[in-house]
Amino acid sequence: MASYAFVVPVLPGMEERNRQFSAELQGARKAEFQASRERAGLTVERVWMQQTPAGTMSVVYLEADDIGRALGTLATSQDPFDARWRQHILEIHGIDLSQPLPGPMNDLILDYARAENP
């Protein structure tokens, strides 16, 4: 299982909308959200909001067998839920996921996990 984490800005004034959207995904749209993530092959998705001197950021953590495939599926899926999700990402974060992201994927530079059986 591969994991991947990244940060994206929350546009000024969109913090509450980000919280509302996340609540919808865990509430009224939970079944659609779960189906979307299953189609993409994601097994874990966690998001935190972090206040920084550069503004509010969303910290995103994902797990999947194939992170590249999962991200590609979310970016190109024609499913109505996925299309609405991408629109929310554009409105909240200013990122158009249907377009190639600038720059390479980030590099994992430290990885520690406690041994299960020391």
Listed by start position, the domains of the chain span: 2-93
**Burial tier of 1 (Cβ tally within 10 Å: 0-12, 13-18, 19+):** exposed
Instruction: Write out the two tokens for 3.
Output: 């994991």
Average pLDDT value for residue range 26-51: 98
Cα separation, 19 vs 38, whole angstroms = 23
pLDDT digits (tens, 9 = 90+) for 61-85: 999 999 999 999 999 999 999 999 9
pTM of the model: 0.91
Instruction: Write out the two tokens for 53.
Output: 């001197």
Average pLDDT value for residue range 55-60: 97
Q: Are 18 and 10 in contact (CB under 8 A)?
A: yes
Q: Are 49 and 41 in contact (CB under 8 A)?
A: no
Which homologous superfamily does the CATH classification assign to the domain defined by 2-93?
Dimeric alpha+beta barrel. (3.30.70.1090)
